[in-house]
Amino acid sequence: MAATHSAETHDGLVAGHFEDLQQQRESATLGMWLFLAQEVMFFGGIFAAYLVYRTYYPISWEESSLHLNLWIGFVNTLFLLCSSLTMALAARAAQIGNTRHLVGFLIGTIIFGSIFLGVKAYEYYDKWASSLIPGIKWDGNQYWMSEGGNHELFFVLYFFASGTHALHMVIGIGILAWLVWAAWRQGRFVKGDYLPVEFTGFYWHFVDIVWVFLFPLLYLIDRFVTVGGH
């Protein structure tokens, strides 16, 4: 066991304060899950605020939801799901030691994520052109049938939730770019040290799951409620 630990440490896979590779992986995995747990609590607060205000202002929520482009949201969801697939394939390539496939799938994930952000930027521009930017460029009252509603509050939550999600994606793409560089130029992550790729996958899948919840809450539920009501 001592000889094995010494060899692993010599190879640079085990930090000095861990006994072996297994202990290091378990500690790193625990830390990653704790990080994701606090992310769940953060986004959980956003979802809770959305649901509370939707309960208080259902008509405003229904009317406001109709001014989000359903097809843009749907297409962006497909791009994000494709990015989850390439991220999973990248993690698998790292586990089996295939650098070429690892780099290719990581780049694919970056491309799909960048397309998502580009489409989201276009959607934000459309809201700017329609004067639906709360506190900056707002003239939304021309669109609503009801009076005295809280449509602006819906768009505050829309921009905060989707903007926070987009920020997490920007951070994720930055990490992915570093993984590509390190894997291609330094040959890392394919000799047993694939945890950075695996943990980045955890993070990326979590961000995708957040959008899977945001999409129906913002684009679908109130749209179908409105149609059913008519």
Tell me the pLDDT tens digit for each residue of 6-51. Answer: 444 435 565 555 565 666 677 777 888 898 899 999 999 999 999 9
DSSP label at 135? Answer: T
Q: Of 150, 158, 80, which Cα lies nearest the Cα of 117?
A: 80
Note the pLDDT of residue 20: 59
Note the pLDDT of residue 19: 61
Residue 187, number of CB atoms within 10 A of its CB? 10
Spatial distance between the Cα atoms of 18 and 11, rounded to a whole number of angstroms: 14
Tell me the pLDDT tens digit for each residue of 106-164. Answer: 999 999 999 999 999 999 999 998 888 888 888 766 666 555 568 888 999 999 999 99
Tell me the whole-structure pTM to 2 decimals: 0.84
Tell me the pLDDT tens digit for each residue of 184-220. Answer: 887 777 766 788 899 999 999 999 999 999 999 999 8
